[in-house]
Amino acid sequence: MSIITLTTDFGIKDEYAGIIKGVMLSVNPAAVIIDITHNIEPQDLIQAAYIIKHSFKYFPVGTVHVVIVDPEVGSKRAIIALETRGHIFLAPDNGVLTLLLNKGDIDSIIRVENLCYFLKPVSQTFQGRDIFAPIAGHLSMGVKIETLGPPAHKSDLKILDFKYPCISNNTELVGTIVYIDRFGNLITNIDANTLDKFCKTSEKKGLKIIIGRNKITGLSKSYESAMPQTPLAVIGSRGCLEIAVNCGSARCYFKAGNGDLVIVTKK
């Protein structure tokens, strides 16, 4: 099996995503290349970090995940290859893999420096094509990440600051909206575990979820358990608290944006 996934901010208007697939197939004609998304907002590392964290585990062990959101392309920022839980990741060392590092169990981290796998000459503006693509091609053929360069330590890597939810006074759990999907669902950084720590199962029915001046009572099991056009809170597919509107858009309903606070209280 030789699957490569792509998570980039290239968009799909230009030739960029197509070209890196061409380079990958030139190295490994048997590679199966799957787009996770090319529509990360330009240079939005936080968004890319969430998407790769929530996506990779649904691919077979052995998959090579390439994440190219790279505002510093052409600078001296390193490129890293990383192996964890049987998956291989290739990305600029700019923090985009932070949420994977948090999980622990990293098997190996390599600083990618072995020029023999690079396309020549290496441009300073499109290293997705000249470095990431050929290396991903080779990794998908079974090349070991250890051959790509010297080992690095987790503490050497650039780490992004993520907002994490916090519990104040044991009565309020304060999180933020970290992603808004196509349907207008507001996805928070409050994961199910944090919610479990905050309250007992028996208390969940009475939880209030506050967003702006609005209040939602209780957690729903699915979108359609609220009336059409009515807001609800649910543990969504990312395993996090999500605010939605059945058959509508919570983004429009609440005029909400990334970074907005969401407060959970027990009464």
How much helix, strand and coil, in percent to the nearest 5, is found in the chain?
A: 25, 30, 45
| Residue 194: CA count within 13 A, CB half-sphere | 19
CB of 21 to a second copy, least distance (A): 5
CB of 207 to a second copy, least distance (A): 17
Does 71 interact with a second copy (rule: CB under 8 A)?
Answer: yes
The residues, any chain, with a CB within 8 Å of residue 66's CB and separated by 6 or more, are: 4, 5, 6, 7, 8, 20, 89, 90, 91, 132, 133, 136
Tokens of 108: 């190996």
| Least spacing, CB of residue 38 vs a second copy, in Å | 8
Helix (H) or strand (E) holding 100: helix 98-101
> Of the listed pieces 6-14, 107-115, 170-178, 259-267, which binds a second copy according to CB under 8 A?
6-14
How many Cβ atoms sit within 10 Å of the Cβ of residue 101?
A: 17
Q: Which residue type is seen at 101? A: L
**Which member of 112, 157, 195, 234 binds a second copy (CB under 8 A)?**
234
Binding mask of the shown chain, residues 110 to 139, with x at each position contacting a second copy by CB under 8 A: -------------xxxx--x----------
CA distance 267 to 264: 9
Among the candidate windows 30-38, 102-110, 157-165, 253-261, which touches a second copy by CB under 8 A? Answer: 30-38
- In the set 4, 45, 46, 59, which binds a second copy (CB under 8 A)? 59
16 lies in the site for a second copy, by CB under 8 A: yes
Minimum CB distance to a second copy smaller for 5 or for 194: 5
Decide if residue 222 touches a second copy (CB under 8 A).
yes
Burial code (b: 16+ CB inside 10 Å, e: under 16) for 121-139 equals: eeeeebbbbbbbbbbbbbb
For residues 106 and 147, what is the distance between their CA atoms, to the nearest angstrom? 17
Cβ–Cβ under 8 Å, residues 246 and 226: yes
In the bound state with a second copy, the residue whose beta carbon lies nearer, of 51 and 79, is: 51
For position 21 contacting a second copy by CB under 8 A, the verdict is yes
User: How far is CA 111 from each of CA 8, 47, 137, 149, rounded to the nearest angstrom?
Assistant: 20, 23, 17, 5
Q: Which of these ranges, 104-112, 141-149, 161-169, 218-226, lies near a second copy under the rule CB under 8 A?
A: 218-226
Confirm or reject binding of residue 43 to a second copy (CB under 8 A).
Answer: yes
- Our finding on whether 257 is near a second copy (CB under 8 A) is no
Is residue 29 within the footprint of a second copy (CB under 8 A)? yes
Question: Which class for 75: exposed (0-12), middle (13-18), buried (19 or more C-beta within 10 A)?
Answer: exposed
The residue within the footprint of a second copy, chosen from 113, 132, 237, 263 (CB under 8 A), is 237
Total of residues contacting a second copy (CB under 8 A): 65
Site for a second copy, rule CB under 8 A:
1, 3, 5, 7, 9-23, 25-26, 29, 32-39, 42-43, 51, 54-55, 58-60, 63, 71-75, 123-126, 129, 181-183, 221-225, 234-237, 242, 246-247, 249
